[in-house]
Structure 1
Amino acid sequence: MSPAAPAYLRLVRTSGWYDLVVTAGFATPWTYALVHRLLSAAGDAAGLGTMPALTPMQTLYANLMGSVVVVWSALRVLRPLPQHGLLDGVARALFSLWMAYTLVHGGPAVLWPFLVVETAFGVAQLLPWAWAARATAGRKSVRHP
């Protein structure tokens, strides 16, 4: 699939919708407190551990992240472009790296499902760019007599 293909743009829009649904609750202190309780309860029920105790700084960082991701999500939902998929793929690689880092350092296992989805969307959005770059490099390396 080419990054310019309609299917790729649908993927970019779909990842925007996913992010909007998953992170909207992080955007305000009141909604984050609810999301925090829900994630802790779900993690406890599934045997994945609970979230750390809620602190003002944790809430601030969650709200900052939630606000930025909501705006970024809205852009991809309303106007998906191939470059948005590339940048989102890079952001997902970073998010995945930091989630994995947190898990290795004792973070709650409730992060695993999010890590799987982040990684899947990241790979799906970056692979077409890698394939396109490889195809372009292959065409440039062919020499005509």
Structure 2
Amino acid sequence: MVSVKRNKQIVRASAGYDLVVTAGFMTPWTATWVFEGFAKMSDTLGLDRPIPTLDVTAMLLANLLGSVVVVWSLWRLRHASRIVGLYDALARGLFAVWQLYAVAHGASFLLLGFTVFEVAFGIAQGWRVQENADFERTGAST
């Protein structure tokens, strides 16, 4: 079990991670730069699955995703709570499933680096919280 305070710290940490990782996807210009960086990294690592150039529709979806995740991150930074963390854990579970699906169907293995963080933060935010720590320390029953 983790304390309520620790749980809020985890929710904020996951929000900070998301903010840093997804801010680059918010605009077509920055998303192009991010995808070019991924392509160079893929080449440097010798990965055999290339990073595609996005058409206008795929770019729109990347920008929408970046925008929504940045706003959701800002919300979590300001309003961290157990319930917000649980909703985020659910979203992370869905993201991880779709990332694994994408890799299984030919997407770059670089996605798995993000998947590790999705799963780790999802588990951390979903961990049981010790709501009544004061009662347990004094021996009172809840």
TM-score using structure 1 length? 0.84
In structure 2, what is the Cα distance between the partners aligned to 1:128 and 1:46?
39
Question: Following TM superposition, by how much is the alpha carbon of 1:47 offset from its aligned partner in structure 2, in angstroms?
Answer: 2.5
Structure 2: gaps (5+ residues): 132-142
In structure 2, what is the Cα distance between the partners aligned to 1:102 and 1:67?
21
Q: Report what 1:52 is aligned to.
A: 52
Q: Report what 1:75 is aligned to.
A: 75
The answer to whether structure 1 residue 66 and structure 2 residue 66 are counterparts is yes
Provide the identity percentage: 43
Q: Report what 1:36 is aligned to.
A: 35
Q: How does 1:22-33 map to 2 (within 5 A)?
A: 22-33=21-32
Q: Report what 1:16 is aligned to.
A: 15
Coordinate RMSD, CA, aligned? 1.6
Question: Following TM superposition, by how much is the alpha carbon of 1:54 offset from its aligned partner in structure 2, in angstroms?
Answer: 2.0
Question: Following TM superposition, by how much is the alpha carbon of 1:50 offset from its aligned partner in structure 2, in angstroms?
Answer: 2.9
Q: How many residue pairs align between the two structures?
A: 130
Structure 1: gaps (5+ residues): 133-145
Residue 109 of structure 1: SS of its match in structure 2?
coil
In structure 2, what is the Cα distance between the partners aligned to 1:27 and 1:41?
20
Higher helix proportion, which one?
1
In structure 1, what is the Cα distance between the partners aligned to 2:18 and 2:117?
10
4+ residue segments displaced more than 3 Å: none
